[in-house]
Chains A and B, each alone.
Chain A
Amino acid sequence: MAVDKSMQILIVDDYNTMRRIIRNLLKQLGFDNVDEASDGADAFKKLQEKTFHLVISDWNMEPMTGLELLKLVRADAKLKNLPFIMVTAESKPENVIAAKQAGVSNYIVKPFNAETLKGKMSSVIGEF
């Protein structure tokens, strides 16, 4: 099935510059419907208010981390199946294992480029 590029994507990162970079990469890939949140708590609020089809989240944020957000999402009846990609500088094996156990859909290590993002998105939402 073809991927609907009008899907709603939520970018979660405490660095404004990083949110902007991911937004630009998504634009390159043809995804324009993008919202932003500055930490896990902000993101969870937005997820309750509006329908999203993919979350691309940083891990290291305060007050709520990306991993905490992921756990909240997976524990929520309405959101539990929402595709969730972790984009983070936390590249130790124990981090990947913790994220996988929490139910992450895929994992990207910073720094990354459009090609990597496309590959990981494809594995989660389908080829495009």
Chain B
Amino acid sequence: MTDVQAKMGRILLKSLLTLRQEKGDMSLEDVGNIFVKMASTFNPSLSETDQFMHEEIRRLANYINEAKNEIFSISQNDKSEKVITDASLHLDEVIKATEEATTSIMDAADIIQNTVAGVGGEKEQKIVEATNQIYEACNFQDITGQRITIVIKLLANIEERIAKLVALFGASESDNTSAVNGGSAAEIILPADDKDLLNGPQLSGKASSQAEIDQLFASLGGKQ
């Protein structure tokens, strides 16, 4: 351990112990203040190492301060406009709308199939094939629905994390209402069991193909 590291360790430990004795508990803001104190113990005019440490610690303190301001800013915006909650509601509407549209498309395909039934010949065959293709294409609704659900859960997760950060920086509970409204955050934390495996559809570039799944399945002793 270098002298500088030992010096920093001693200062940090002393500051943390003092703070714990004084307040009993610490926020990130308190940690930021410790960094400010630490920076003042290094004299930039003494050596290059002191100058370097002084600068780095000052940057850390500034970073914490900026992060705190950013989080408060986001928190304030959420409170007034419920941006994330609104975004989630809009996405819910997209799921509903695509489900309704898909149902309409399939209803129409059914009508076409029923109408053409009994006509016979190549014409009937072609029309039935085309309507079957329409049905198969409606797979999209399930996949897009699952993808949008993933985004909704991510938004709820962001809401929850912002609420926790704001609380960590010492904001009062009343400032955090937008982030915890509705209990959605609790719902998205999946228990550590089989549900942990549920990720929904992967991005097309990363998703395994049916052929890759078949290969894996066969390697596990299954029939393809």
Give 1 or 0 for each of B185-221: 1 = CB within 8 Å of chain A CB: 0000000001101111110000111100100110011
**A64-B99 Cα distance, complex, nearest whole Å:** 22
Q: Is the CB of A8 closer than 8 A to any CB of chain B? A: no
Q: Is the CB of A24 closer than 8 A to any CB of chain B? A: yes
- Tell me if B222 and A108 are in contact (CB < 8 A): no
Q: Is the CB of A89 closer than 8 A to any CB of chain B? A: yes
Within 8 A of B (CB), among A1-20: 13, 15-18, 20
**A20-B202 Cα distance, complex, nearest whole Å:** 23
Distance in angstroms from B208 CB to nearest chain A CB is: 4
Q: Is the CB of B2 closer than 8 A to any CB of chain A? A: no
Q: Is the CB of A110 closer than 8 A to any CB of chain B? A: yes
Q: Is the CB of B88 closer than 8 A to any CB of chain A? A: no
Indicate which residue in B136, B145, B217 contacts A96 across the interface (CB closer than 8 Å): B217
Residues in chain B near residue A68, CB distance under 8 A: 194
Query: How many residues of chain A get a CB closer than 8 Å to chain B's CBs?
Result: 43
If A90-B199, A93-B216, A98-B197 touch, whether A110 touches B224 (CB-CB below 8 Å) is no
If A25-B135, A91-B207, A91-B208 touch, whether A107 touches B213 (CB-CB below 8 Å) is yes
- Tell me if A100 and B217 are in contact (CB < 8 A): yes
- Tell me if A60 and B222 are in contact (CB < 8 A): no
Indicate which residue in A65, A71, A112, A124 contacts B139 across the interface (CB closer than 8 Å): A112
Give 1 or 0 for each of A66-103: 1 = CB within 8 Å of chain B CB: 01100100000000000000000111111111101100
- Tell me if B139 and A100 are in contact (CB < 8 A): no
If A25-B135, A106-B217 touch, whether A92 touches B199 (CB-CB below 8 Å) is yes
Q: Is the CB of B52 closer than 8 A to any CB of chain A? A: no
Within 8 A of A (CB), among B118-155: 132, 135-136, 138-143, 145-146
- Tell me if A16 and B216 are in contact (CB < 8 A): no
Distance in angstroms from A20 CB to nearest chain B CB is: 6
Distance in angstroms from A34 CB to nearest chain B CB is: 14
If A90-B199, A98-B194, A123-B223 touch, whether A112 touches B210 (CB-CB below 8 Å) is yes
Residues in chain A near residue B217, CB distance under 8 A: 96, 100, 106-107
Q: Is the CB of A116 closer than 8 A to any CB of chain B? A: yes
Distance in angstroms from A95 CB to nearest chain B CB is: 5
In the complex, the chain B residue whose C-beta lies closest to that of A19 is B142
- Tell me if A110 and B102 are in contact (CB < 8 A): no
Q: Is the CB of B8 closer than 8 A to any CB of chain A? A: no
- Tell me if A67 and B194 are in contact (CB < 8 A): yes
Residues in chain B near residue A110, CB distance under 8 A: 139, 142-143, 201
- Tell me if B220 and A96 are in contact (CB < 8 A): yes
**A105-B224 Cα distance, complex, nearest whole Å:** 10
Residues in chain B near residue A21, CB distance under 8 A: 106, 135-136, 138-139, 142
Q: Is the CB of B51 closer than 8 A to any CB of chain A? A: no
Residues in chain B near residue A60, CB distance under 8 A: 146, 198, 200
Q: Is the CB of B103 closer than 8 A to any CB of chain A? A: yes
**A21-B194 Cα distance, complex, nearest whole Å:** 27
**A123-B224 Cα distance, complex, nearest whole Å:** 7
- Tell me if B210 and A108 are in contact (CB < 8 A): yes
- Tell me if A17 and B197 are in contact (CB < 8 A): no
